[in-house]
Amino acid sequence: MLEQPHISLPQGSIEKQTTTLNLGPTHPATHGVFQNILEMDGERLVNAESTVGYIHRAFEKIAERRPYYQITPLTDRLNYCSAPINNMGWHLTVEKLLGVQTPKRVDYLRVIIMELARITDHLICNGVVGVDTGAFTGFLYLMQFRELAYEIYEEVCGSRLTTNIGRIGGFERNFTPAAFQKTEKFLAGFPKALKEFETLMTRNRIFVERTTGVGPISAERAMNYGFTGPNLRAAGVDYDVRVAHPYSSYEDFEFSIPVGSTGDCYDRYLVRNAEMWQSLSIIRQAMDKLKSLPDDVYHADVPAYYLPEKQDVYTKMEALIYHFKIIMGESDILPGELYNAVEGANGELGFYLISDGGRSPYRLHFRRPCFIYYQAYPELVKGAMLSDAIICLSSLNLIAGELDA
């Protein structure tokens, strides 16, 4: 076995007291490209050393070369299971920098898309925790609804996974009646499927015994490790960026934040499950609110940053000038420095943007929740069996794209 020179084997392993197991970057159970070098005493883990960076694509460097509206496709590829949330987070950050106010209808449409993305991310995570315990059926039943969510994204923006959805100031086109019909179909069909999934898993004796007490973390340690999102809420801290610092009119909606107590895998599963029900309720409220708003508004009136209609570009002078300025990067992006956060499916997704007035950011840093809470993994699995370590890894909902950026 070839020894990797940059990873020093622990002393215990060299003395043959412990075994070193490589849970390598390409492994079906890690759901992403990251490596764990496990030091094991028989079946129990003594230590785990994580190596990340296998899918590092230098987004922060690339973002320093691209105009603001071209950075959205980079944000797609952060947490690629819930790409719309990343896109909206970026648009909200730029809108905050520019002082753009979006109309209510845009906010509600954004909420629908973001909550749909949150549901799809949580259903993958919960389904995958099931798969890792051996229960494949629940995962497949829920994936049917992820397919329906893909169709909804397709109606709005044209893509399914890496959506590049929305523009600075709103959306690129109005939601078609088909998009609303598909959303209604989702709202009608998903509760039944989620109920079936719950019946399979939540009080299933085997699942409960596999996940209870696995990878627990106290609230103090979780906060010290920088946890946010469902993992922190499972540990007992009710911090949700949607409530603490509302954005995109979340203050108009009524929803609760599910909170766990022990922070183990079962609590994380329950928190994500409850969040899916809450998200469904939010989408329902948003659809109802949309009925009372004029249905032709889908972007803010900011011709300096939002591309005008093509027929106007060919006939009107101002539209032509704005189009030229935006595409050639001559728009007046104000200099400024801000940090804006949204509640991603994994936690607080933050954007630290420094603008020097040019066409691309001076510095853009993504505060990626996965990257920050993955550091806690060795502490979570110390002393656990190997199978528990795998379950813990999948219940943390690590998405490799967000880990590395």
Nearest distance from C-beta of residue 140 to another protein, angstroms: 34
Distance CA 331, CA 324 (A): 9
Amino acid at 178: A
Distance CA 267, CA 53 (A): 29
Residues that bind another protein (CB under 8 A): 6, 52-53, 56, 58, 60-62, 64-65, 96-97, 221, 223-226, 237, 239, 244-245, 336-339, 341, 348, 350, 352, 354, 362-363, 365, 367, 371-376, 404
Nearest distance from C-beta of residue 244 to another protein, angstroms: 5
**Which one, 60 or 252, has the nearer CB to another protein?**
60
**Which one, 221 or 325, has the nearer CB to another protein?**
221
**Which one, 61 or 205, has the nearer CB to another protein?**
61
**Which one, 157 or 396, has the nearer CB to another protein?**
396
**Which one, 256 or 315, has the nearer CB to another protein?**
256
Per DSSP, the three-state class of 103 is coil
Distance CA 260, CA 234 (A): 4
Nearest distance from C-beta of residue 392 to another protein, angstroms: 17
**Which one, 165 or 341, has the nearer CB to another protein?**
341
304 burial (CB, 10 Å; 0-12 / 13-18 / 19+) is middle
Nearest distance from C-beta of residue 400 to another protein, angstroms: 12
Neighbours of 334 (CB within 10 A): 10
Nearest distance from C-beta of residue 207 to another protein, angstroms: 30
Residue count of the chain: 405
Distance CA 286, CA 110 (A): 10
**Which one, 114 or 237, has the nearer CB to another protein?**
237
**Which one, 314 or 339, has the nearer CB to another protein?**
339
Distance CA 283, CA 182 (A): 13
DSSP 183-243: HHHHHHHHHHHHHHHHHHHTT-HHHHHHHTTSS---HHHHHHTT--THHHHHHT----HHH
Nearest distance from C-beta of residue 263 to another protein, angstroms: 15
Nearest distance from C-beta of residue 345 to another protein, angstroms: 18
Nearest distance from C-beta of residue 159 to another protein, angstroms: 23
Q: Which residues contact 359 (CB under 8 A, 6 or more apart)?
A: 67, 68, 329, 330, 331, 333
**Which one, 112 or 405, has the nearer CB to another protein?**
405
Distance CA 240, CA 256 (A): 10
Nearest distance from C-beta of residue 305 to another protein, angstroms: 17
- The gap from C-alpha 246 to its chain's centroid, in whole angstroms, comes to 17
Dihedral, CA of residue 397, residue 164, residue 97 and residue 244, to nearest 10: -30
